[in-house]
Chain A
Amino acid sequence: MEMIKADKLIFEYEKRDEEGNVISTSRAVDEVDLDIKPGDFIAILGHNGSGKSTLAKHMNAILVPTDGSMWVDGKDTSREEHIWDIRQSAGMVFQNPDNQIIAAVVEEDVGFGPENLGVPTEEIWERVEESLRSVGMISYRHHSPNKLSGGQKQRVAIAGVLAMRPKCIVLDEPTAMLDPNGRKEVLKSVAELRQKENITVILITHYMEEVVDADHVIVMDHGHIVMQGTPREIFSQVEELKRYRLDVPQVTLLADELRKRGLDVPAGILKKEELVNALCR
């Protein structure tokens, strides 16, 4: 069974006047099909306004499709009775670290999800400890979130989702507001999760460097899926990526230029070391 499956998913934002009549609609997601298997690491790329966040919110039943359908862990998100199951099995981490931490103490924030699920007190403590440990934030458990760095706050947010024991975690530009160090921290935590806990990860970003380790990359533009494939397949189409206004990593660009000038460099170079190896052969 697929972890996440979308079938011709369409979502339109409606603009309403004072009486609540729809005056205009804008289509943010347009006929998207998805098939995400358990344990996959999927990256979704796209320029601003391409509909990534809108799509992500469907995976958590925060939004329900205008047309078409979305299943999470085999459950239809448009059915009211499944909402809480879906939100438990697909956790979500948002962009702004300040606006998703609810409690005034780190450990209490991590406990917020399990509290909502009605988990017994002792088990909440176990889960909180385990989750904080797996993102490497256990020594900050008694701290106030206000005194943490951006990267640390995002790791707390990830721990908060983990404590709900999800099968899948959707991260919507978790690194967009962080400095390079914070970005590294967060990505490292995400990578570890995937290896240790075998959780399905869906990472939304517009930093292409962050997707090189993904199993599958999806590129969105104007609500459509315009490209998909392995990172190597995607990165070898430099011209097309540029057309969708994505910032291709410098190594990939350099390798592409070299290849165009006739050097024997394979297409779709992802990392510095690969280019070095290719050139020094």
Chain B
Amino acid sequence: MIRDITIGQYYPAASKIHMLDPRVKIICTLLYLISLFTFKNLAGYVFAAVFLAVCVRLAKVPFKYIMRGLKPIIVLLLITVLFNLFLTPGGEILFTFWRFKVTEQGLRTAVYMTIRLIFLITGASLMTLTTTPNALTDGLEKMLNPLNRIKVPVHEISMIMSIALRFIPILLEETDKIMKAQTARGADLESGNIIQKAKAMVPILVPLFVSAFRRANDLAMAMEARCYRGGAGRTKMKPLIYNRRDYIAYAVMAVYMIAAFSAGRYLPFHVWIF
């Protein structure tokens, strides 16, 4: 059961989006998120929705995978909607509900906020669904490379991230094994209040930590034995090189940004109060 957790949740498929350089995907996702916050009218959101739909379509990721990413934020979404709906003053009062007044401004903010959050999560999960965790760390490493000059250990950080990603499934499996072993010895992990449950975790965490340290030690030795000595002088088996399609993607993104920005601010497109 613990193994069902998927981290990075990559969805393998042969699509144009999958083939893009990870840097393109990271930068475009960031730009897209920024664009969502510049809109002042409905036109911008329509634009953003169409763009996102096209990207999802191109990525060949099934719709239900994308929806799965939204599930964890439903509660957050509800809270945001309620707060915005009832507590934003300004504009005409549309209706009153017990003590709360729903204003025009409140309704507008609530709706915009919901759309924004949904698009934001969808956009971000589209990136993680179409990029392997390793490609993501590679992309980040290359993008953050200039920070090397101010002594930020960029290579090391990305190495740590990719090793962590490799060991997550191994450690999850190990946790599962230890839990079973302790249950077989009569450990009760399910019942009791929070404090008792926390105490019951100790016999699981201690062996897990011991084993994690042993693994770390072994791995460090194996890396040294294979001549690992940090980022300097290292070549890459799969260097990141921009292709034609990556430049095209940047161009498309630039067009989207300009179009969405101007539409979202200046296009007089209104439906009722939105």
Contact = CB atoms under 8 A, between A and B. Distances in A.
Interface string B118-156: 000000000000001110000000000000000000000
Contact of A125 (B133, B162, B237): B237
B46 interface: no
A121 B134 contact: no
Nearest to A108: B237
Contact of B134 (A84, A103, A114, A161): A103
Contact of B170 (A94, A98, A114): A98
A59 B225 CA distance: 10
B180 interface: no
Contacts of B55: none
Interface in A122-142: 124-125, 128
Contacts of A145: 166
A102 interface: yes
A94 B226 contact: no
A52 interface: no
Given A102-B163, A104-B166, A108-B134, A115 B224 contact: no
B225 A62 contact: yes
Contact of B221 (A62, A88, A98, A121): A62
B222 interface: yes
B6 interface: no
Interface string A153-167: 000000011001000
B90 interface: no
B229 A84 contact: yes
Interface string B222-240: 1111111100011111110
B170 A146 contact: yes
Contacts of A98: 170, 215
Contacts of B235: 114-115, 118-121, 124
A125 B239 CA distance: 12
Nearest to A123: B235
A181 interface: no
Contact of B222 (A100, A119, A121): A100
A113 B226 contact: yes
A116 interface: yes
B5 to A, nearest CB: 14
Contacts of B162: 103-104
Interface in A76-116: 84, 87-88, 91-92, 94, 96, 98-105, 107-108, 111-116
Interface in B171-224: 214-215, 218-219, 221-224
Given A104-B165, A108-B134, A121-B237, A99 B229 contact: no
B226 A116 contact: yes
Interface string B158-169: 000011011001
A60 interface: yes
A103 B166 contact: yes
B226 A161 contact: yes
Candidate in A94, A103, A116 with the most chain B CB atoms within 10 angstroms: A116
Nearest to A120: B235
A60 B228 contact: no
Contacts of B170: 98, 146
A121 B239 contact: yes
Given A87-B225, A128-B237, 10 more contacts: A62-B224, A91-B226, A92-B222, A94-B221, A100-B218, A108-B238, A112-B223, A113-B227, A118-B234, A145-B166
14 contacts: A57-B221, A94-B222, A98-B170, A98-B215, A99-B218, A99-B222, A101-B166, A104-B134, A112-B228, A114-B235, A116-B226, A116-B227, A117-B227, A125-B237
Interface of A: 57, 60, 62, 84, 87-88, 91-92, 94, 96, 98-105, 107-108, 111-121, 124-125, 128, 145-146, 160-161, 164
Interface of B: 132-134, 162-163, 165-166, 169-170, 214-215, 218-219, 221-229, 233-239
Ranked nearest first, the 9 interchain pairs of A and B with the lowest CB-CB distance are A111-B237, A99-B218, A100-B222, A116-B227, A113-B226, A92-B225, A124-B237, A104-B166, A116-B228
